[in-house]
Amino acid sequence: MSVKSRILFVIIGCVFLCALGSGYALFHYKKQRFLNAKADVAEAAAKLPASAKDGAKPPHVRGSSSATVTLEEFGDFQCPPCGDLSGVLQKLEQDYGTQLRFVFRQFPMPMHLHAMEAARASEAAGLQERFWEMHDLLYQNRFAWPRSHDVRADLIGLAKSLGIDVDRFEKDMNSQQVKERIAADQLRGRSLGVDRTPILFINGRELPVSALNPPGLHAAVDEALTAK
């Protein structure tokens, strides 16, 4: 091997090792930020009163308050099945109109590094009356922001697109109020036996996984309407 070849080999090796080290450092940073966020919410949960098992108040509700059927979802913004189901649920809302109301509960899962941050972003947007807009944007862009090198910057970008006060949004993402809302929803979920996402309840009855599709959901809503 010539001297030039050896030098080139060494350079390539150094570049590879630097890239590997940078990638590991970035992953470690993201994981640590997730663990810190998880610990913050766990601390907030420990301070909540027993009534918090009813979930965050007021809950995030879309639809008529006089609707016959209430669909309650425990979801995670980084959960692929939740993202796939989001469009199905929007179509269901359109199909049933004022007969159906939709409640969303935060249940970020520990295996998703950015789920907690996305939950905080949606709650921060909610403090400016833009929860559902952020909810929809997070799912619509579910193949983009979780893969970003700077997820927080992407979430801020989504907030900007909604025309909300970004400075307040960033502060609210780290606020105690946001932590407590997420913690309350998680407490409610655990009290109901929720251990994965998505899990849906219709008028308090948990739907089986086999029903989480257009025909199954229509059948469940129709059954609930008939029961009333």
Query: Which pLDDT tens digits describe the chain residue by residue (228 residues)?
Result: 666 666 766 677 566 665 555 454 444 444 555 565 456 555 655 555 555 579 999 999 999 999 999 999 999 999 999 999 999 999 999 999 999 999 999 999 999 999 999 999 999 999 999 999 999 999 999 999 999 999 999 999 999 999 999 999 999 999 999 999 999 999 999 999 999 999 999 999 999 999 999 999 999 999 999 996
User: Residue 184 belongs to a domain with what CATH number?
Assistant: 3.40.30.10
In a domain, 163, yes or no: yes
Domain extent at residue 68: 50-227
**What pLDDT score was predicted for residue 7?**
72
The pair of three-digit structure tokens given for residue 198, joined into one six-digit string: 């998505």
Q: Is the dihedral of CA 179, 159, 140, 72 positive or negative?
A: positive
Specify the number of domains making up the chain. Answer: 1
User: How would you list the strands of the sheet with 69-75, edge to edge?
Assistant: 60-63, 100-106, 69-75, 199-202, 205-206
Q: Tell me 228's DSSP state.
A: -
In a domain, 38, yes or no: no
**What pLDDT score was predicted for residue 11?**
73
**What pLDDT score was predicted for residue 33?**
53
Instruction: Count other Cβ atoms within 10 Å, centred on residue 39.
Output: 10
**What pLDDT score was predicted for residue 27?**
47
Is the peptide bond between 80 and the residue preceding it cis, with omega within 30 degrees of 0?
A: no
**What pLDDT score was predicted for residue 14?**
60
In a domain, 102, yes or no: yes
In a domain, 7, yes or no: no
pTM of the full structure: 0.80
Whole-number Å distance between alpha carbons of 61 and 185: 13
In a domain, 26, yes or no: no
CA distances from 14 to 6, 11, 18, 33 (A): 12, 5, 6, 28
In a domain, 35, yes or no: no
**What pLDDT score was predicted for residue 12?**
76
In a domain, 17, yes or no: no
In a domain, 135, yes or no: yes
**What pLDDT score was predicted for residue 41?**
56
Contact criterion met (CB below 8 Å) for 194 and 74: yes
**What pLDDT score was predicted for residue 16?**
63
**What pLDDT score was predicted for residue 40?**
54
